[in-house]
Each structure stands twice: as C-alpha cells, then as structure tokens.
C-alpha cells in the first residue's frame, strides 16, 4: 500500500466512514526484510541539545499503552503532520486499537524505533520512527517519524531518522519514501542536511520525498 492509499485509509477511518468492526490481521508480503544477526540499534542512548537523554529501542507489544499515551500528548498540529488528518475528536477506542496494532511489530517486515524517556519514574515513549516494507522487494519502504511536542527542536528527530535509515540500509533497502505536507519546515530541514541523496515529487498537497539509501 502506498502513502496516498494509507492517507486515504486513515482519513476514512478517522471520519468513521470505513471503521472496521474487528482488527483484521495485516497481510504479510511475500518476502522478508532480513533482520541483522547483531542488531546494533537497540538500545542506544541519544543526548539531546538541551542535555536530556533518551534511549532508543525497538517497539514491542507491551508498548501499546505507551503509544496511546504518546498520541494523546501530541498537539493537534503534530497529529496532523504525522497522520495527515485532523484528529481532534478521534474515538479513543480507535486510538487504542491502532496503538495495539502499531506495537505488534513483525520484525520480518517492519522496523519501529521508540525513543524512551524516564519521567516521574515511568518509562514514556517520546518519539517513534518506523517503516513497513511494501508488497514487493523492489518497491520503496514508507518511513514516518513523530516527536512529542515538548521534545521537538532539540535534535531528537534528526538522530532518530538517522537510526531509521541505518536500520533500512542494514536490511539492504535501497529507497525510503517519506510523505509530508509542503509546509513542514522541520522534516524538510532534517532531510536537507542529512546528506542522504533524495528526490521529491508533489501531488494533491502532499510531498513525496524519496531517500536514496544506496548512496
Ligand atoms: C518533524 C519532526 C519529527 C522533527 O523532530 P525534531 O526533534 O523537532 O527535529 P530536530 O530538532 O532534529 O530538527 C528539526 C529542525 O527543524 C527546524 N525547524 C523546526 N520548525 C521550523 C520552522 N518553522 N522553520 C524553520 N525551521 C524549523 C528546527 O529549528 C531544527 O533545526 P535546528 O536543529 O537547526 O534547530 C517533528 O517536528 C514532528 O514530530 N513533527 C510532526 C510529525 C511530522 O511532521 N513527521 C514527518 C512526516 S511523517
């Protein structure tokens, strides 16, 4: 499923026009992203510009409640930029269901990195970067990233995207596409200065930025 289809699907679900009664299993593609023998991505500690530290690790099913909490702490603007639909009055059951699905990662065909901070003695997810493989091995993977508002602007997004790209390269993937609105200076700034070659195209208000991971 490409990004435009994803956006349309999210839009239909958010407006209740296509809300499923039960959560259908996500069909697996007919190939697997090789999981590296030694996975150097998790956990790593990132130091932010304001001296805060977060640990990055792979998401696990036990993170579902943390993803729900993260969602409710995102501003309307951040939700819009990540999910492409206004999610002010979203159904809480839909949020829980989606979080469960997004936490139940199949490492053979998905990578989801969580940046975790310890706050008030609780482990909280403050950012997530992820990609899911497409239906065929030669298609591009679709990457996405979100950082909780009170952690934005401190260098977390840049570092996390670097880790995501590293994970994609380790799996031999050649391209990663990120969809964004045209007026998203933060993600555009990050991508421009990352040093990874990229191409862009623009359709129906959405920028498609394709990172060329092979160099
Ligand atoms: C995009 C996003 C992940 C960036 O995360 P972040 O932790 O703020 O990223 P960083 O701090 O590493 O870098 C962001 C850069 O954009 C710059 N920036 C942010 N807003 C800006 C603006 N309005 N104009 C110009 N630059 C801006 C920041 O100053 C920073 O640059 P700097 O390091 O030179 O100061 C975060 O803003 C976010 O979650 N946005 C909502 C979801 C989203 O847009 N996802 C991308 C599409 S899937």
Would 51 be classed as within a structural domain? yes
How many domains is the chain partitioned into structurally? Answer: 1
ω into 43 cis (within 30 of 0): yes
Does residue 8 register a pLDDT over 70? no
**pLDDT score recorded for residue 19:** 43
Domain around 73: 40-173
Would 8 be classed as within a structural domain? no
Q: From the CB of 167, is ligand 1 less than 6 Å away?
A: no
Closest by CA to 71, choosing from 153, 149, 163, 132, is 149
CATH code of the domain covering residue 73? 3.40.630.30
Say what the alpha-carbon torsion angle 127, 72, 178, 155 is, to the nearest 10 degrees.
Answer: -30
Closest by CA to 42, choosing from 127, 144, 116, 147, is 116
Residue 180: DSSP 8-state:
E
Measure the CA angle with vertex 68, ends 63 and 72; round to 5°: 145
Would 15 be classed as within a structural domain? no
Q: From the CB of 156, is ligand 1 less than 6 Å away?
A: yes
Q: From the CB of 185, is ligand 1 less than 6 Å away?
A: yes
Atom 17 of ligand 1, nearest CA residue: 186
Would 212 be classed as within a structural domain? no
Rounded to whole angstroms, how far apart are CA atoms 199 and 215? 13
Would 27 be classed as within a structural domain? no
Would 25 be classed as within a structural domain? no
Would 9 be classed as within a structural domain? no
What confidence category does residue 215 fall into, taking pLDDT thresholds of 50, 70 and 90?
Answer: low
**pLDDT score recorded for residue 139:** 74
For the stretch 88-119, pLDDT in tens is 889 999 999 999 999 998 877 899 999 999 99
For the stretch 113-145, pLDDT in tens is 999 999 999 999 999 999 987 777 667 899 999
Q: From the CB of 177, is ligand 1 less than 6 Å away?
A: no
CA of 188 to the centre of ligand 1 (A): 8
**pLDDT score recorded for residue 11:** 43
């Amino acid at each position: 499923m490409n990004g435009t289809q994803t956006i349309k699907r999210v839009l239909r679900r958010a407006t209740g026009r296509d809300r499923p009664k039960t959560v259908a299993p996500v069909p697996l593609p007919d190939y697997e992203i090789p999981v590296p023998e030694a996975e150097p991505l998790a956990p790593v500690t990132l130091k932010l510009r304001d001296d805060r530290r977060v640990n990055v690790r792979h998401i696990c099913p036990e993170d579902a409640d943390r993803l729900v909490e993260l969602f409710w702490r995102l501003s309307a603007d951040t939700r819009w930029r990540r999910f492409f639909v206004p999610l002010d009055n979203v159904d809480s059951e839909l949020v829980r269901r989606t979080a469960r699905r997004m936490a139940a990662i199949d490492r053979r065909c998905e990578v989801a990195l969580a940046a975790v901070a310890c706050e008030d003695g609780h482990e909280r997810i403050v950012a997530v970067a992820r990609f899911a493989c497409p239906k065929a091995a030669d298609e591009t993977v679709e990457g996405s990233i979100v950082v909780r508002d009170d952690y934005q602007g401190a260098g977390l997004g840049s570092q996390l995207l670097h880790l995501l790209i590293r994970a994609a390269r380790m799996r031999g993937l050649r391209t990663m596409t990120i969809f964004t609105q045209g007026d998203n200076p933060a993600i555009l700034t990050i991508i421009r200065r990352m040093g990874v070659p990229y191409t862009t195209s623009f359709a129906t208000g959405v920028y498609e930025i394709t990172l060329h991971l092979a160099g």
